[in-house]
Amino acid sequence: MSLNIAIDGPAGAGKSTIAKAVAKKMNLIYVDTGAMYRAMALYMVKMNIDLKDTEKIIEAGKNVDITIRYEDGVQVVYLNGENVNAFLRTEAVGNAASTVSVIGEIRQKLVELQQKLAAESDCIMDGRDIGTCVLPNAQRKIYLTASSDVRAKRRYDELVAKGEECDLAKIKADIEERDYRDMHREVSPLKQAEDAILVDSSYMTIDEVIAEIIRICEM
Ligand code: DC
């Protein structure tokens, strides 16, 4: 049986940064499930599908093939055969992913892919429903969170460092809107699994969070 570690939490809590570092230290594959929902959303945006039209999204979703490969330890997402990694990390695609991921039919397809990857390899997988739904039998479950003020400020600093113009209040409002949608949807909402360990990173450095999660994993 492979070793599976689940990390869930709201947008901007630092899940991917932490999971990547822990994967490296513990020699695990890092499975970024948000990237799969982002690829699905990217397809809908490219095809001009109205994101309010659930039926159209379900129909269009049938034409989507998402394949995951690991190239030099990095997860590469192929959308209908094309490497789309470079297009996934924008705010617009993240918000569209949050909308598309509300739909059960879309989730089902991606959950199957995630479960297959976890069965094949020792991995650390991050998302919203990993501990509660995708990998209920994961050996370790972590719920990583931080206050919305701290998450917004981290995102703001990241964008400023990239030279992008941005507004802290707008980023915070977007984060809170995304939290609400992810936590209140009907299918697999974001919530802490009963057997997950809570880590609040609001007042921790990245290195402290990595050390804490490795400590939890080695317990
Ligand atoms: O983690 P992220 O920001 O890349 O995720 C983008 C969106 O995808 C997120 O707002 C909700 C959705 N998502 C999900 O519903 N379930 C997951 N396991 C991962 C992401």
Report pLDDT for 219: 85
Task: Kindly tell me if the per-residue pLDDT of 172 is higher than 90.
Answer: yes
What phi and psi values does residue 114 have, to the nearest 5 degrees? -65, -40
Q: Bridge-partner residues for 60, per DSSP?
A: none
Q: Ligand 1 centroid vs 177 CA: distance in angstroms?
A: 13
Report pLDDT for 4: 98
Are 113 and 36 contacting, i.e. CB atoms less than 8 angstroms apart?
yes
Q: Is the CB of 101 under 6 A from ligand 1?
A: yes
The pLDDT tens digits of the residues spanning 89-102 come to: 988 899 899 999 99
The pLDDT tens digits of the residues spanning 51-96 come to: 999 999 999 999 999 999 999 889 999 999 999 999 999 888 998 9
Are 123 and 2 contacting, i.e. CB atoms less than 8 angstroms apart?
yes
Compute the average pLDDT of residues 10-14.
Answer: 93
Q: Is the CB of 155 under 6 A from ligand 1?
A: no
Give 207's DSSP letter: H
Pocket test for ligand 1, best of 77, 98, 151 (most atoms within 8 A of CB): 98
The pLDDT tens digits of the residues spanning 17-37 come to: 999 999 999 999 999 999 999
Give residue 212's pLDDT band: very low, low, confident or very high (50, 70, 90): very high
Give 66's DSSP letter: E
